[in-house]
Amino acid sequence: MATRNSEKLFAYLQKIHDRFEQISAELSLPETAQQQKKFRELSKELYSLKPQEEKYHQLGRVLRRRRDAEGLLAAEDPEMSALAREELSVLEREEEALIGETEVLMVSDPGEDSRNAFLEIRAGAGGDEASLFASDLLRMYMRVAERKKWKAEVISTTYSGIGGIKEVILYVKGTEVNKFLKFESGVHRVQRVPETEASGRIHTSTVTVAVLPEAEDVEIDFNPKDIRIDTYAASGPGGQHVNKTESAIRVTHIPSGIVVTCQDEKSQHKNKDKALKVLKARLFEHEKSRQEESIAQNRRSQVGSGERSEKIRTYNFPQNRVTDHRVSGRNFNIGFVIDGDMDELVADLTESHVRARIEEKIKSLTS
């Protein structure tokens, strides 16, 4: 098994090596150095490929040694055959270790995983109950941030009439935030008896979550002429919380049609800064989707329409369980998950994701 996996993996790494050599050659050209954007992009890609390029050479050396040892197995000298078997046993362990290390590198993006992230939580199907569950999910992610010693800040909130949340944008900053939260994108379904239900009947509602990794300024071609900024009076849950001045900000990116609003701060300047951060994150995700030539990567595909049939996860309160539909054969304790203890769930999702991505990558690059 190790031999077959190693040969497949080496064919994949050969493609990575070829690309690494191609980029190195391009970067050495004088005309490339004069194009700052291209030079920056190629340098970033070269840096991301370097760990796999190193595995290409390591695995190549192991495979050559293995072939030499296999050739000695048929030697007439018993002592030589014994040495060859011993060498093969050592090489098999080295192969297994290299396979594991390479598979992790194949599906990891350290730059992407280390990013901070914006979470957009929106009430979907289910009316008032959906907005109440959106509030619960906001608290859940705040607890995750607290457990991980991250910093979580609400950027913008739109409330429902009964104190729930129609929409909220949460900014989470810390170590490997996007790596942990990236699996949260999608439709979250809740099954429970709402507080507003007198007859005790179980309702099913949904909330959509989108996770947008924070973009760095150098990654976005951001032309100030492409945006329109409007101000208006903020609204809130009522009473003293309603802002009477025009401190709320609406930013529209004209080429893409992306609109971001922010009203939680009393300062117009602070609202503008936050809105521009969110806009950059959305533009980064939009550009990444175009580069990958897959509409499935943008925000709309992450959350779908919010219909119950599109769920990625179900929170069943009567049965005290959380079921993630991307992890087969296992449920999780709803109390732990709602309280932000999601390590086991994310570990299972990561393992499933790694296996699927490895198969996809090897198939696409060795076919």
Q: Give 246 or 152, the one with higher predicted confidence.
A: 152
pLDDT in tens, 146-175: 999 999 999 889 888 788 999 999 999 999
In this structure, the number of other CB atoms found within 10 A of the CB of residue 26 comes to: 14
* pLDDT category of residue 242 using cuts at 50, 70 and 90: very low
pLDDT at 294: 43
* pLDDT category of residue 237 using cuts at 50, 70 and 90: low
- Separation of alpha carbons 39 and 32, rounded Å: 6
pLDDT in tens, 60-87: 999 999 988 888 887 778 888 888 889 9
Q: Which tokens in the block code for residue 301?
A: 């595909």
- In percent, the amount of the chain with pLDDT more than 70 equals 84
Q: Is the dihedral of CA 11, 12, 18, 24 positive or negative?
A: negative
Average pLDDT over residues 197-207: 84
Which secondary structure element, helix H or strand E, spans residue 358, and what is its range?
Answer: helix 343-366
Q: Which tokens in the block code for residue 248?
A: 């709320």
Q: Which tokens in the block code for residue 157?
A: 């909130």
The structure's pTM equals: 0.66
- Helix, strand, or coil here: 325? coil
Given a contact cutoff of 8 angstroms between Cβ atoms, the answer to whether 220 and 284 are in contact is: yes
Domains of the chain: 2-107 (1.20.58), 113-215+304-359 (3.30.70.1660), 219-291 (3.30.160.20)
Q: How far is CA 325 from the centre of its chain?
A: 17
pLDDT at 44: 83
Does pLDDT of 349 surpass 70?
yes
pLDDT at 219: 58
Q: Give 101 or 221, the one with higher predicted confidence.
A: 101
Q: Among 312, 316, 311, which Cα is nearest to 346's? A: 312
Does pLDDT of 216 surpass 80?
no
Residues 6+ apart with CB under 8 A from 296: none
pLDDT at 20: 96
- For residue 351, the one-letter residue type is E
pLDDT at 211: 94
pLDDT at 236: 59
Q: Which of 44-58, 92-106, 313-327 has maximum average pLDDT?
A: 313-327
pLDDT at 316: 96
Does pLDDT of 190 surpass 80?
yes
Q: C-alpha distances in angstroms, 39 versus 33, 47, 110, 232, 295?
A: 6, 12, 20, 42, 27
- Separation of alpha carbons 271 and 153, rounded Å: 13
Does pLDDT of 99 surpass 50?
yes
Q: Among 321, 312, 307, which Cα is nearest to 211's? A: 312
- For residue 108, the one-letter residue type is S
Residues 6+ apart with CB under 8 A from 252: 227, 228, 229, 230, 258, 259
Average pLDDT over residues 265-291: 81
φ/ψ of 67, rounded to 5, equals: -65, -40
Alpha helices per DSSP H over the chain: 2-27, 30-33, 36-72, 78-107, 110-113, 128-147, 177-181, 268-291, 299-303, 334-338, 343-366
